[in-house]
A and B are shown apart, each in its own frame.
Chain A
């Protein structure tokens, strides 16, 4: 548990409360949550940048406060500030030395990592000259250079252009296939949806939802779109459809009804056709991650 206390009023904010996440080895795991949900605090607890008020943070079964527990971890913080006196190579050399790589391995791996993130020509340039996207890619190289088992990335594509994003995604997929577990903390839902196989949503310091991405976003059903004109869709029919549907919404002269099953959708079609109503479209749907996120956060807030 992590509680932050105001220095003067002693008011308490419970940032993280009894979180236990099981992240399958070799997958890309997404951690989501609204602002102030405790995502960054949770990640910092794992890395021992923040110390728990009570309890213990465990990594690979070891107390996260033990430096050895952090050896198999690569980390890219959000809003990182790498010292600008470093060159790209110098920066990788410093952080990889702290990660325990000896001189010979550093010499071999630094050019390889710079090439991997597309900065092969920039190794001897001071990082003060790097763009935001280049710094992000260099940060990723720093996190990967010592071949970690677990990679923790806080907003990894923040400030990166679409080409760079694709590059980062390809690199992460490559490391995932090598068995590296990747833990992504991001606000970009579309990106998490594309990247991650597993997911957890934090709200007010607790896990509000967790599971496989495929299952969580499989809020499946059928959307029936009907022209809204009164001569086509009388009010009494709308009421009957609303009762069967899980939701109903109006857009561009159409009324969309969401049905949870194929049977209920077919019944609605039968009802409409019996009254000679026209149907615009009937399509199977899945929930987007955004739907899941909003539903979870709103549900947890209630």
Chain B
């Protein structure tokens, strides 16, 4: 009961903030965009373009290729800008609970602090999940109807996007309870995304770095920090039916999130309000 109340409270607060309506509005605009393209016959148009360059390909293969490219584009957009906007929108939801005059009443209820923070965390993930499911499912259905190609691999991006958001939100929660700053939480999460992209160029960088300690540092950071970029690559490979077997990126990111979240819970449990 308390868990449901905490999740509902997170939804209430999220939708009281205009930024979440903005996020859903953006997803709706994207769906409408594809709906509009559907009217001008995107797939037919795309295939016509292909044939203009003298390619007389198999109609189904070309349509499939085009649809998968669109899926990959959307997944990339969702995974980068969508993630940024989601973190930006969510960063205030944990520090807001810690406001003086609000937190005293919450912790005075017969609910453990761990339960309170996990309820918020889960609620926040569910809010963003609604948006991700709305966008991905909406685009998938529209493109499926139009092209007749129902590629379920695109739906993997729902899971990977929500997963990486949960990892980032663990960082947001930790910064939120430790410093009560939404701005700092956003900055650190975004920095983590950028650093992850840099660290993922491991093979190239290890060749370029001159000293052994700097190579060890690079490797260490790569293995410790969440592999946001690598999980994104898994998503794209899955969408384009390419082979992928880099499951270590997923479980090591999950481990990172679990440790950071445990740290956040510990700080929250020990704090005076």
Residues of A within 8 A of B (CB): 44, 47-51, 67-71, 73, 75, 77, 79-86, 90, 93-95, 97-100, 102, 142
Contact = CB atoms under 8 A, between A and B. Distances in A.
B210 interface: no
Contacts of A49: 103-104, 107-108, 272-273
Given A67-B112, A81-B99, A85-B12, A47 B107 contact: yes
B259 interface: no
Contacts of B104: 44, 47, 49, 75, 77, 80
B273 A95 contact: no
Nearest to B97: A83
Interface of B: 1-2, 4-6, 8-9, 12-13, 16, 96, 99-112, 115, 270, 272-273
Contacts of B108: 47-49, 70, 73, 75, 77
Nearest to B271: A51
Contacts of B106: 98
Contacts of B272: 44, 49-51
A55 to B, nearest CB: 15
18 contacts: A44-B272, A49-B104, A49-B273, A50-B273, A67-B109, A67-B110, A70-B109, A70-B110, A71-B110, A75-B104, A75-B108, A77-B104, A81-B99, A81-B102, A94-B5, A97-B1, A97-B4, A98-B110
Contacts of A85: 12-13, 16
Given A97-B2, A100-B110, A86 B102 contact: no
A68 B112 CA distance: 9
Given A51-B270, A94-B8, A99 B109 contact: yes
A75 B105 contact: yes
A158 to B, nearest CB: 12
Nearest to B15: A85
Contacts, number: 85
A216 to B, nearest CB: 29
A80 B111 CA distance: 19
A85 B16 CA distance: 6
Contacts of A142: 105
Given A49-B272, A86-B12, A98 B101 contact: no
Given A49-B273, A86-B12, A98-B5, A68 B100 contact: no
B254 to A, nearest CB: 28
Nearest to A126: B16
Given A98-B5, A100-B1, A80 B105 contact: yes
Contacts of A77: 101, 104-105, 108
Contacts of B9: 83, 94
A86 to B, nearest CB: 7
A90 B101 contact: no
A98 B111 contact: yes
A67 B4 CA distance: 18
B1 A102 contact: yes
A16 B96 CA distance: 28
B13 A98 contact: no
Nearest to A53: B272
A68 B1 CA distance: 15
Contacts of A71: 110
A170 B112 CA distance: 33
Closest 4 CB pairs of A and B: A81-B101, A85-B16, A97-B5, A98-B109
Given A85-B12, A95-B109, 16 more contacts: A49-B273, A51-B270, A67-B111, A68-B110, A69-B110, A70-B108, A70-B109, A77-B104, A77-B108, A81-B101, A82-B105, A85-B16, A86-B12, A97-B2, A98-B5, A99-B110
A13 to B, nearest CB: 13
A67 to B, nearest CB: 4
A83 B270 contact: no
A44 B272 CA distance: 9
A44 B109 contact: no
